Structure formats: C-alpha cells, structure tokens
C-alpha cells in the first residue's frame, strides 16, 4: 500500500495512510515518515491498536530513546505503572486507579497544559515524541500543536532581528511555578537546574528557522527576569494564534508523532474523573542548540568564503 499524507491544517500537520505502526518498517517506509515529519512536523496515524513493545519498536526506527532517568519528572521510576522507555501521561496511579486531585504528581502533570516543547529543560532537547491514545475521556483532552516555523516566518523584521541571538534558560521549575506548583524538594530543584537553549533554531534537514519557545523558558541571558518573561509571553501569544495551531481531537488508538524542534504543544482540559490513558515514547535529540547554532554559523562562514574565492 502506498504511503500518503493528507494535510490537516493550512500550515502543517498531516494524517498518514499506508503505515502499520505495529509492524517492522523497511528503509523506504522509515525515509517516507521522516520526510513527512520534515515537511508537516506533526503526523497522525489512525487505528493503531499498539502495545507498549510495539510502540517502543516503532519509535526506535527513527533513533535512540531519550533517557528518562536524568533530569526527569518528580515521579520516581519505581512509582510508575509503565516499563522503562514509556512515559505515562495518564491520570492513573501505579495501580491503575485515577490519581487523587490532591496528589502532587497530578499537580505536576497539570503543567503539561501550558505550551511547551518536550525536554527543552534537558541539555540536549528531544527530537520526536510519539503519543498513543489507549483510553480516552468522553469530553475534552485535545492536544494542540503550534507551528514554530510559521510563527518565525510571520515575525516582523524588528522582532526577528531581536530574537536572532537570544539565549534562554529552561527548567521544569519555571513551568511548574507558573501554575503555582512550588513545593519542590531540594533534590528535585537540583535535578531541574536550568539549561541554556537558543531562542531561534535551524532545522538540520530543511534549513527552516523556527522559534524555540516553551513554558519551561523562564529567563533570557543578559535580561532582567521581569522583562524577559514579558517578552517570552508576548512571543508565545503571537506564536499560538489560530493560524499557527492544529488542535488534535483524539480517537481511540490514534498515534500522534511530532517534531519538538519545530513545534510547541499543550494538553487541554478534560473530566479528570474519567480515565485518560495515553503513553509517550520520546527520541533523544542529537545536538545542543548552542552547538547547533555554532555549527550553522561556521557553515555559513565557510560558504561565504567559498563564494568569495
């Protein structure tokens, strides 16, 4: 069966046909999915009644899994109901019961309803994320995606010049403080030490520029905190206008795959008294954004020198 892509939004996102995510992929299929990711940044695979093992195997076609044991979330591995390599974004505890509304793990999960890019708080941020919808509530729970390439392209010239060389500090501390979750232990605060990321990224394949925004970003190097946070809030409001956003209404057994280098996303509200069982696998990134910017700069200098010869 041929692989086809049906675009879901004028700027990005596509539904994929012709791929069974439960089966091993050949080289051409892997290349087609990667090309689709480069173009659309968000891919939707319907009717994928996938197991954890199958989701892990499908994810590994595209690179190495991210290591969740370093700079992770507040939930310890032994408290998780899922195996290593699987991240639990459900509202369930280790025994499969709905998490109490007073549980600090639930408070922490609520931060995922802010616009963010997965693992921007890690020294090397994530590449792809893949989320499988196993059990869904009857209302709400959409996942919204914002195209950071289209947002960058739409910036006015003054703002584009202003953001070009800015560096932000990202941490889970910033995103959780934004929703009032400040009760972190000394050990957690040490694990969430801020890391530096460029505010503008360049895609390694397409060369397209994009904004690297996230609720995890709490400061801009060289700026005062109040001015930095207002500027980042303004940029986020601009980048999440309707023309840049695709809202995914989940169906049972959807598998949604997105490129964290080109998008932001957020979860939406749902009835927390109903089960929402969604499971994520994440591919590790391959380069720190600071190093990537340096490499891009060196390449541009070499090309300029070559053209002058």
pLDDT of 69 reads: 56
Cα–Cα distance for residue pair 142/207, rounded to 1 Å: 30
Domain residue extents for the chain = 4-308
Mean pLDDT of the region 162-183: 96
What percent helix, strand, coil does the chain show, rounded to 5?
30, 25, 45
User: What Rg value do the Cα atoms of the chain yield, rounded?
Assistant: 19
Mean pLDDT of the region 195-222: 97
- In the predicted model, what is the mean pLDDT of the chain? 92
Question: Phi/psi of residue 104, each to 5°?
Answer: -65, -25
Q: Per-residue pLDDT tens for 11-55? A: 999 999 999 999 999 999 999 999 999 999 999 999 999 999 999
For 296, 301, 305, the CA distances from 308, given in Å and listed in that order, are 18, 11, 5
- If pLDDT is split at 50, 70 and 90, which confidence band does 292 have? low
CATH class of 4-308: alpha beta
């Amino acid at each position: 069966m041929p692989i086809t892509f049906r675009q879901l939004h004028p700027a990005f996102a596509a539904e994929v046909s012709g791929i069974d995510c439960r089966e091993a992929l050949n080289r051409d299929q892997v290349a087609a999915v990667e090309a689709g990711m480069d173009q659309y940044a968000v891919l939707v695979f319907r009717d994928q009644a996938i197991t954890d093992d199958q989701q892990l195997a499908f994810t590994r076609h595209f690179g190495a899994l991210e290591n969740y044991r370093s700079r992770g979330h507040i939930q310890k591995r032994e408290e998780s109901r899922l195996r290593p390599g699987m991240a639990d974004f459900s509202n369930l505890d280790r025994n499969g019961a709905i998490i109490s509304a007073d549980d600090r793990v639930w408070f922490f999960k609520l931060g995922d309803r802010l616009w963010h890019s997965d693992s921007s708080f890690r020294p090397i941020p994530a590449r792809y994320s893949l989320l499988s919808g196993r059990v869904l509530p009857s209302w709400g729970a959409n996942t919204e995606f914002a195209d950071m390439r289209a947002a960058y392209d739409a910036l006015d010239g003054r703002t584009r010049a202003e953001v070009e060389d800015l560096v932000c500090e990202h941490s889970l501390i910033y995103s959780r403080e934004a929703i009032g979750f400040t009760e972190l232990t000394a050990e957690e605060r040490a694990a969430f030490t801020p890391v530096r990321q460029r505010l503008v990224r360049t895609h390694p394949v397409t060369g397209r520029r994009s904004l690297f925004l996230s609720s995890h970003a709490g400061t801009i190097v060289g700026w005062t905190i109040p001015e930095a946070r207002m500027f980042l809030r303004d940029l986020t409001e601009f980048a999440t206008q309707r023309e840049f956003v695709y809202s995914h209404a989940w169906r049972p057994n959807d598998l949604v795959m997105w490129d964290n280098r080109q998008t932001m996303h957020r979860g939406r509200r749902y009835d927390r008294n109903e089960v929402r069982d969604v499971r994520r696998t994440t591919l590790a990134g391959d380069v720190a954004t600071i190093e990537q910017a340096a490499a891009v700069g060196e390449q541009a200098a070499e090309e300029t020198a070559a053209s002058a010869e």
